[in-house]
């Protein structure tokens, strides 16, 4: 099937999708923030890009978050400042105690701390490929190792295989890592499979479950792994404010785990979260309206864009995140270079899925630019590159 992209058709589809959710396509959470005076900031080519490469929230912090952070400037010259009780707010949000929480500058830092805390020299972390690589890199930096397993043909994580490999290497395994939903595929591991994994491996092996994209999931088979921590399981769940709350450049994340695991990790944590970010985090947790707007808008634009590509014959992996992967039928590196000529930045390579392109969901305007460029790069749809698989 070779249905061509039409700007009017896409804009109508996106508007209809957003309208069905009771959203205004032109709404922007940061609309009330004034731009800088002319000439205050130098012209930066970065500002001209449609930024669809790093799974960011394109709208930034909400107005309530900005107001809270701006009010916190008065603490910028202090050490022992009020912080809005951010640790207590996070703990209450999950129904755990403050000693079950570790705050860091983004969940990536928490992942690094976990690798340092639970992997000793020559020990192994078990996980899949492709996935988010921070834990594997932390392992390599301390002469630990990774047992990396492939995804199944439907792009899901092979839980039976992870159990088998972990048990076979029990004496050497220091950590099991599951990104859920997985980055870069956007595919979830069901709650039943998470429980099966925990039940199937020795109970003294820590399991790290990265839930960076938790807020976008609609699949009813999915559930957060936080209840397993309350059961006393040796589980660490990581979360970030970078995605749904728009704080990627500000850096705030945290881990939730049993007290003894948090205590082991504290030795390796710097606690480098500043006053403005803490107050922004407090406001984010309380701003349910903005969170819902970002979630619903992102999902509507994701589905509208993915359906356009499917209509041209391309395989798009069903996603539960703020990004998707599309099978290009040719090296994604070549496609990425073509997009850059159109001032559209898309995702990096994710071996071994080198003919799949990860596309983050931007604003409606950015997704329109993406599809316009796609139409020029693939003028004949999937027929130019062979059958989609």
pLDDT tens track for 167-180: 999 999 999 999 99
Using alpha carbons, list the distances in angstroms from residue 186 to 11, 118, 212, 316. 24, 27, 11, 11
Say if residue 117 is in the same domain as residue 241. yes
Examine the fold and report which residue of 265, 286, 307 is the final residue of a domain before the chain moves on. 286
For residue range 295-341, list pLDDT tens digits in order.
999 999 999 999 999 999 999 999 999 999 999 999 999 999 999 99
Is residue 121 in a domain? yes
Looking up residue 223, the CATH number of its domain turns out to be 3.40.640.10
Same domain, 92 and 40: no
Note the Cα 52 to chain centre separation in Å: 13
Give the pLDDT confidence score for residue 12 in this predicted structure: 63
Confidence tier at 387 by pLDDT (50, 70, 90): very low
Distance in angstroms (rounded) separating the CA atoms of residues 32 and 386: 47
Q: Is residue 386 very low, low, confident or very high in pLDDT (cuts 50, 70, 90)?
A: very low
- 252 and 268 share a domain? yes
Closest by CA position to 212, among listed 233, 192, 231, 184: 184
Q: What is the DSSP string of 53-82?
A: SS---TT-S-HHHHHHHHHGGGGTT-SS--
In terms of domains, do 280 and 294 share one?
A: no
The predicted-structure confidence for 44-53, as pLDDT tens digits, reads as follows: 778 889 999 9
pLDDT in tens, 285-305: 999 999 999 999 999 999 999
For residue 130, pLDDT beyond 90: yes
Confidence of residue 32 (pLDDT cuts 50, 70, 90): low
pLDDT for res 46? 82
Is it the case that residue 11 has pLDDT exceeding 80? no
Asked whether residue 68 is domain-assigned, the answer is: no
Mean pLDDT of 184-210: 98
Same-domain pairing of 316 and 282: no
Confidence of residue 26 (pLDDT cuts 50, 70, 90): very low
Same domain assignment for residues 25 and 45: yes
pLDDT at 27: 45
What is the spatial distance between Cα 57 and Cα 287, in angstroms, rounded to a whole number? Answer: 15
Give the count of domains, the chain.
Answer: 2
Span 74-93, pLDDT tens digits: 999 999 999 999 999 999 99
Q: Please report whether residue 389 resides in a domain.
A: no
Domain that holds residue 354: 7-62+289-384
Three-state secondary structure call for residue 267? coil
- Report d(CA 138, CA 132) in Å as an integer: 12
Average pLDDT of the chain to the nearest whole number: 90
**Per-residue model confidence (pLDDT) at position 383:** 57
The answer to whether residue 388 scores a pLDDT higher than 90 is: no
Tens digits of per-residue pLDDT, 55-68?
A: 999 999 999 999 99
Nearest to 287 by CA among 247, 345, 227: 247
Name the domain boundary from 286, 304, 327. 286
Where a domain ends, among 231, 251, 286? Answer: 286
| pLDDT on residue 259 | 98
Q: What is the pLDDT of residue 1?
A: 46
The residues, any chain, with a CB within 8 Å of residue 38's CB and separated by 6 or more, are none
**How far is 97 from 154, CA to CA, in rounded Å?**
38
């Amino acid at each position: 099937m070779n249905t061509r992209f039409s700007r009017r058709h896409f804009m109508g589809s996106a508007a209809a999708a957003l309208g069905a959710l009771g959203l205004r396509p032109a709404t922007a959470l940061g609309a009330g923030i004034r731009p800088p005076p002319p000439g205050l900031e130098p012209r930066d080519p970065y500002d001209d890009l449609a930024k669809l490469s790093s799974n960011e929230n394109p709208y930034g912090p909400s107005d309530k978050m900005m107001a809270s952070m701006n009010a916190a400037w008065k603490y910028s010259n202090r050490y022992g400042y009020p912080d809005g009780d951010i640790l207590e707010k996070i703990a209450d949000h999950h129904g755990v105690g403050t000693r079950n929480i570790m705050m860091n500058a983004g969940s990536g830092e928490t992942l690094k701390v976990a690798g340092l805390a639970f992997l000793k020299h020559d020990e192994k972390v078990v996980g899949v490929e492709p996935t988010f690589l921070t834990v594997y890199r932390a392992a390599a930096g301390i002469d630990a190792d990774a047992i990396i397993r492939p995804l199944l043909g439907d792009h899901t994580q092979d839980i039976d295989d992870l159990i088998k490999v972990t048990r076979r290497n029990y004496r050497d395994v220091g950590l099991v890592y599951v990104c859920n939903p997985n980055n870069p595929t956007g595919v979830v591991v069901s709650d039943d499979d998470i429980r099966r994994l925990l039940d199937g491996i020795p109970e003294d092996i820590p399991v790290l479950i990265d839930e960076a994209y938790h807020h976008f999931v609609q699949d009813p088979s999915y559930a957060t792994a936080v209840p397993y921590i309350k059961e006393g399981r040796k589980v660490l769940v990581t979360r970030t404010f970078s995605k749904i709350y728009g704080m990627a450049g500000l850096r705030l994340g945290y881990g939730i785990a049993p007290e003894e695991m948090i205590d082991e990790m504290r030795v390796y944590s710097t606690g480098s979260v500043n006053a403005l970010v803490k107050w922004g985090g407090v406001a984010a947790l309380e701003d349910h309206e903005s969170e819902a707007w970002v979630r619903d808008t992102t999902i509507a634009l994701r589905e509208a864009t993915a359906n356009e590509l499917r209509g041209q014959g391309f395989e798009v992996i069903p996603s539960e995140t703020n990004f998707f992967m599309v099978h290009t039928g040719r090296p994604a590196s070549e496609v990425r270079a073509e997009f850059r000529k159109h001032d559209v930045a898309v995702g990096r390579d994710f071996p071994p899925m080198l003919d799949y392109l990860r596309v983050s969901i931007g604003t409606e305007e950015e997704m329109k630019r993406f599809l316009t460029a796609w139409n020029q790069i693939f003028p004949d749809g999937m027929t130019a590159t062979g059958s989609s698989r």
